[in-house]
Structure 1
């Protein structure tokens, strides 16, 4: 089993950004037409992600000329040139299959406003900054809180006078 995992490690891609369901991504795919090879962009919303290792894949959905188009893309496929995360979606589901039934504005997802895709220089600066600062200095110590007072519930029936 370990031998199989070691063989798989050689084929796994390393430059995959973290993304999940609800995120809008641009997938740059290598397409061979005749003797030529070109890069085609497929931009849409990730509606699911499944599997692990070499078998991991994700589904991207976009609307093209009023028709919903979904594409299942293997994550570690050699036909993927690169993946860019455009926006991060604020969703509470792992599978967004309900988007298939929605049209127009109803199919829009909430996005995290503060997310802006970092450039390569910003990524390198963030990594250098994270490595230079000690982790213990960043974590604030919590003060001890006072124990909460217990609240007893009143019996409403006991407070009311008896009916005759």
Structure 2
């Protein structure tokens, strides 16, 4: 076995198979494991997926939400052991792959139409 085959076999063990289909524009709730002392708790982070990058084990999503009037973005490595769960709340109807234009918008201008042709 060469090095690439070894790397692929290790990645195959780590990759998650129970993830839902995530598209740009979807509103999702990510359960993030937070360590406090010796205990772990699950903290939900809900927002709109504005970008997806990479593929395979390195796949990331950028999730944006507005908290107390301030826009907050987090990048999640979706196959990370720190991610407990990902749940799709609603599907968004968008026409582009990256929604960075939402950063410049405020209030009702950030709304995304809902799409009903894909199941949750």
TM-score (norm 1): 0.68
How far does residue 115 in structure 1 lie from its aligned partner after superposition?
A: 5.7
Are residues 1:95 and 2:107 paired?
Answer: no
Change beyond 3 A, Cα 1:105–1:31: same
Change beyond 3 A, Cα 1:116–1:12: closer
Give distance in 2, aligned partners of 1:116 and 1:55.
25
The aligned residue for residue 60 of structure 2 is: 57
Give distance in 1, aligned partners of 2:59 and 2:116.
29
Give distance in 2, aligned partners of 1:110 and 1:56.
25
Match of 1:76 among 61, 76, 79: 79
Give distance in 1, aligned partners of 2:38 and 2:12.
31
Are residues 1:38 and 2:65 paired?
Answer: no
Match of 2:27 among 24, 28, 43: 24
> Per the alignment, in what secondary structure is the counterpart of residue 32 of structure 1?
strand
Give distance in 1, aligned partners of 2:82 and 2:5.
27
Give distance in 1, aligned partners of 2:117 and 2:15.
31
How far does residue 44 in structure 1 lie from its aligned partner after superposition?
A: 0.2
Q: Deviations over 1:56-102 (max 9, x none)?
A: 11100000000000000001010111000000000011110000000
RMSD in angstroms over aligned alpha carbons? 1.3
Give distance in 2, aligned partners of 1:68 and 1:45.
11
> Per the alignment, in what secondary structure is the counterpart of residue 5 of structure 1?
helix
Give distance in 2, aligned partners of 1:47 and 1:109.
11
TM-score (norm 2): 0.92
